Amino acid sequence: MKFTQLRLVGFKSFVDPAELHIDPGLTGVIGPNGCGKSNLLEALRWVMGATSAKSLRGGGMEDVIFSGTDSRPARDKAEVTLHVDNTDKTAPARFNDADTLEVVRRITRGKGSDYRINGEEVRAKDVQLLFADLGTGANSPALVRQGQINELIAAKPENRRRVLEEAAGVAGLRARRREAQLR
Ligand code: ATP
Ligand code: MG
């Protein structure tokens, strides 16, 4: 399973459609302060189902929508698309026929987020579970935010355990158990 492309429209500073092609190996993103490097990583976490506005450096979920500049009006929608190469057939059974998974998250002011996987409308939970099963996700320990190391050192044991569960790839099991118990 590999991420091959990230596309942003109206997400934070990326008001015009922007595509990032992710080739095999190491990818570096360079640019001056404030050019949007961190915003790119936040787009990646957001499309995988991030639910914490704070972790996206916003006060509310709609803060990811382009908020306008002196010369450009604000938008009322943001959309991020992630292409995942599934030619190694590691996706969960429900999506495993496809060689490429196209995961889309869109937010509209006043209407919240919706998600699609290969054109099919799905729940946030489906997207979160998909990435948890692939061993990654919005809270993946592979994505390290500024200040996160300090948070981890100071964390309560159960919160630190959550990070270990993500790393061990069993976070999806816990979410499924909770869902089963609610039924
Ligand atoms: P640094 O090198 O300092 O870490 P960076 O390249 O990571 O910088 P980002 O933090 O990704 O930069 O981008 C910050 C820019 O994004 C700021 O100019 C900020 O105004 C802009 N920005 C953030 N949210 C929005 C939004 N909702 N609408 C428009 N612009 C936004
Ligand atoms: Mg940054």
Q: What is the ipTM of this complex?
A: 0.98
pLDDT tier at 144 (50, 70, 90 boundaries)?
confident
- The domain limits of the chain are 2-182
pLDDT in tens, 72-116: 999 999 999 999 999 999 988 889 999 999 999 999 999 999 999
Residue 36 confidence (pLDDT) above 90: yes
Q: Measured between alpha carbons, how far is 170 from 84 in angstroms, rounded to an integer?
A: 21
Ligand 1 pocket check for 59: Cβ under 6 Å: no
CATH class given for the domain over 2-182: alpha beta
The tokens for 36 are 């949007």
CB 105 within 8 A of CB 79: yes
Which atom from ligand 1 is nearest to the alpha carbon of 13?
A: 30
| Residue 54: per-residue pLDDT | 86
Whether ligand 1 lies within 6 angstroms of the CB of 12 is answered as yes
| Residue of 38, 63, 69, 70 best suited for mutating to test ligand 1, as the one with most atoms within 8 Å of CB | 38
Residue 31 Cα to ligand 2 midpoint, Å, equals 10
- Residue 121 pLDDT: 97
Ligand 2 centroid to residue 39 C-alpha, Å: 7
Edge-to-edge strand list for the sheet holding 120-122: 18-21, 2-9, 77-85, 100-108, 112-117, 120-122
Question: Of the bound ligands, which one is closest to the alpha carbon of residue 36?
Answer: 1
Task: Using the mean position of ligand 2's atoms as its centre, give its distance from the Cα of residue 34 in Å.
Answer: 7
